[in-house]
Amino acid sequence: MIAFLTGLRGRLVITFTVVAVAASALVAGIGFELAKGALIERTTKTAVDDLTKDLERIDFAVGELRPGEVPPSSEELTNLANALAGPDRHTLLEYQDQYYRDDEGLFGGGDVTGELRGQARSKLVSQRRMIDGALWLVLGTQVYRAGTDDVARPTGLLVFEFVSLSEEERTLANLREAFAQAGGITLLIALTVALVSARHVLLPVGRLSAAAQALGRGRLDTRLPVRGKDELAELTAHFNDAAAALELSVSELRALEAMSRRFVADVSHELRTPLTAMTAVADMLAEEAERLPEQPAKAVRLVLSEVGRLRELVEHLIEVSRFDAGTATLALESVDVADAICDSLEVRGWSDDVRVQAPAGVVANLDPRRFDVIVANLVGNALKHGGQPVLITARSTPNGLEVKVRDHGEGIPPEALPHVFDRFFKVGTGRVRSQGSGLGLSIARANAQLHGGTISVRPQQPGTLFTVWLPHA
C-alpha cells in the first residue's frame, strides 16, 4: 500500500481526481461558451433575416437609374432609415457620401469602422462593438438592384443597422452567475483534494511544465535533474534528450539561415560593382544605338533592358536582405501625403500616366523614403501589368492614412490573389520575362508592415485595387 501511494501510479490516481474536478469546471466553461455562441448566433441570424427582408421591400430607385426614374430624395432615405429601425435597433444609411439616420439619431458615420464599411460593399457582414459602454451588434451591407438586363448590381447605398445586445448580456450574466455558484462548490471540494496531494504530485509535474515553457520561450539549454527511477524520472531523462536534440537542430537551422541571408546580402552587394560598370557601358551603348544597323541596335536594346532588370533585381534583393536581417528601420517625419505622391510620380516620369486624387493638407507621420517605395511599387505594378487609366487616391481616416491604387486592366485571376505578395510570384507564364523582379509587391507590403500597417488587394470591374492602410503614429 505504501509503495502504491509513493509510486507514480498512486500519484497519478490522485492527480486524475483533481483533473476530474477541473474537467467539471471546463465543461461548465464550455457549456457557457456554447450557450453564449448559440445566443449570439441566434440574435445575429434573426437580425440578418429581418434586415434582408426589410431591404427587399425598398420601393424607390437607387443606384443606376432607368429611364424615367429620379434619384431618391433625402426624405425617402430618411423614411427608409426609420422603417428599418425599431425597438433596440437603429439604422444608418450611407449614400453618395451622405449619411441618413433614423429619428433617434444615436449613431453616425464615425461609429462604423473602415473594415466593416469596406466589407459591407461586397457582402452582408456583422460585427460586435462596444459603443458608449454598451454592446451592439452592427450589421452592414450594400443594397443591390436588378438592372435592365435583370442582373443585380451594387447601388452604392450602404445600410448599417445597430442592434442592442443588452438583453443578451443580461441573460449571459445570469447564466454566468449560475455557473460561478456551481463552480464555487466544486472548487471547495477540489481545493481539499489539491492541498493534500499538490506537494507530492504536482511539484514534479510543475517542474517539467515550467521547463517545457522555458524551452518554448527559446531557452534551449533548459535541463532537469533526474531523480529516482520511476516513470517520471524516465520521462525527465527523455525530456532532457529531446531538449538537447532540439537545441542542436535549432542551432544548425539558425546557422544555415544566417548563412543564407548573408549569402544573399553578399551576392547582392558584390553584384553592385560589375553592375555599375555594366550600367556605364550600357549608357554609352544607348547613345550609339540609334546610329547602329537594325540587328546590332536590337541587340543593344535587349542588353540595356536586361541590365535594367538586373539592377532592379539587385536593389530589391538588398532591400529584402535588410528586412530578413531585421535591420530595416523607420525615419518618421511629418509628410504632406499629396506632395509625397506627386513627387514619387514625377521622379519616375509617371505624372502624365497616373491620375491623383489626394486633398491638400493631409499630413501623416511616416518614413518618406519607405512611403515612396510603397507608392512606386504599387503604381509601377499597375502601369506594367494593369491597364489605363491608373488612379491613386489618398485620404485620412479616424484610424489612419488610406491610399488606394486602381488600374483598369484585365485584373488578377482569383486563384492568384492570395499569392500576389509572395516573393518572386508572377501572374501567368506570359509574365515570366516581364520587367518586374517579382519582389516589388512583397517589398511594398514589408514597408507597410514596418509602419504597423497593411496592404490588401481586391478585384474590380475592370482592373485591380490595392489599398494601403498606415496607422496614425
Give the whole-number percent of the chain exceeding pLDDT 70.
77
Q: What pLDDT score was predicted for residue 139?
A: 92
Kindly state whether residues 338 and 463 are assigned to the same domain. yes
Angstrom CA distances, 306 to 4, 275, 410, 432, stand at 79, 11, 26, 13
Question: Does 81 share its domain with 134?
Answer: yes
- Structural domain boundaries, residue 291: 220-328
223 Cβ contact list (under 8 Å, min separation 6): 211, 240, 243, 244
Nearest by Cα to 168 from 27, 51, 37, 28: 37
Domain boundary among the residues 127, 149, 164 is at: 164
Model confidence at 255: pLDDT above 90: no
Among 302, 328, 354, where does a domain finish? 328
With cut-offs at 50, 70 and 90, classify the pLDDT of residue 342: very high
pLDDT of residue 145: 83
Indicate whether 46 and 100 sit together in one domain: no
Query: Could you tell me if 89 and 161 are in contact, meaning their C-beta atoms sit under 8 angstroms apart?
Result: yes
Residues 346 and 452 in one domain: yes
At residue 56, what are phi and psi to the nearest 5 degrees? -70, -15
Helix axes of 74-84 and 8-55: crossing angle, nearest 10 degrees: 140
For residue range 158-217, list pLDDT tens digits in order.
999 999 988 888 888 888 888 777 777 776 676 666 556 555 655 667 777 788 888 878
Q: Are 426 and 434 in contact (CB under 8 A)?
A: yes
- Of the pLDDT bands very low, low, confident and very high (cuts 50, 70, 90), residue 430 is very low
Which phi and psi angles does 90 have, rounded to 5°?
-130, 150
Domain containing 233 — which CATH number? 1.10.287.130
Provide the CATH number for the domain around residue 427: 3.30.565.10
Query: Which of 271, 301, 328 lies at the terminal end of a domain, its last residue?
Result: 328
Same domain assignment for residues 182 and 197: yes
Q: Are residues 243 and 273 in the same domain?
A: yes
| 15-24 tens-digit pLDDT | 655 666 677 7
For residue 193, what is its C-alpha cell?
A: 483534494
Task: List, in sequence order, the alpha helices (H) in 362-422.
Answer: 368-385
CATH number of the domain to which 157 belongs: 3.30.450
| Domain identity same for 91 and 124 | yes
Cα separation, 403 vs 391, in Å, equals 11
Using 50, 70 and 90 to split pLDDT, how confident is the model at 299?
confident
Q: Are residues 227 and 283 in the same domain?
A: yes
- Across the chain, mean pLDDT equals 79
For 131, half-sphere exposure in the C-beta direction (CA atoms, 13 angstrom radius) is: 20
Task: Express each pLDDT in 137-158 by its tens digit.
Answer: 999 999 888 777 777 888 889 9
The pLDDT assigned to 67 comes to 78
Q: Give the Cα separation of 137 and 44 in Å (integer).
A: 8
Kindly state the average pLDDT of the residues 262-283. Answer: 65
Neighbour-count burial of 401, counting CB atoms closer than 10 A to its CB (0-12 exposed, 13-18 middle, 19+ buried): buried
Comparison of pLDDT for 87 and 319, the residue scoring more: 87
Whole-number Cα distances in Å, 33 to 38, 172, 378, 436: 8, 10, 44, 50
Q: What is the pLDDT of residue 467?
A: 93
C-alpha cell at 55: 431591404
Give the pLDDT of residue 250: 75
Mean pLDDT computed over 272-277: 67
What was the pLDDT predicted at 435?
A: 52
At 294 the pLDDT is 74
Q: Which three cell numbers stand for residue 147?
A: 438592372
Element (H, E) at 295: helix 294-325
Does the pTM surpass 0.75? The reply is no
Q: Identify the helix (H) or strand (E) that includes residue 428.
A: none
Does the pLDDT of residue 297 top 50, yes or no?
yes
Say if residue 43 is in the same domain as residue 174. Answer: yes
Helix (H, G, I), strand (E, B), or coil: what is residue 125?
strand
Q: Domain total for the chain?
A: 4
Do residues 321 and 264 lie in contact, with contact meaning Cβ atoms separated by under 8 Å? Answer: yes
Q: Are 254 and 376 in the same domain?
A: no
Yes or no: say if 124 and 99 are a contact pair by the CB < 8 Å rule.
no
The pLDDT of residue 191: 60
What percent of the chain clears pLDDT 90, i.e. is strictly above it?
14
CA distances to 163, 283, 285, 290, 294 from 301, rounded to whole Å, are 65, 11, 9, 10, 11
Measure the CA angle with vertex 451, ends 459 and 434; round to 5°.
45
State the pLDDT at residue 269: 60
Neighbours of 464 (CB within 10 A): 23
Specify whether 315 is located in the same domain as 449. no
- Quote the pLDDT of residue 3: 44
- 142 and 183 share a domain? no
Q: Please check the confidence at residue 10 and state whether its pLDDT lies above 80.
A: no
- DSSP state letters, 9-44: HHHHHHHHHHHHHHHHHHHHHHHHHHHHHHHHHHHH
Which pLDDT does position 272 carry in this prediction? 63
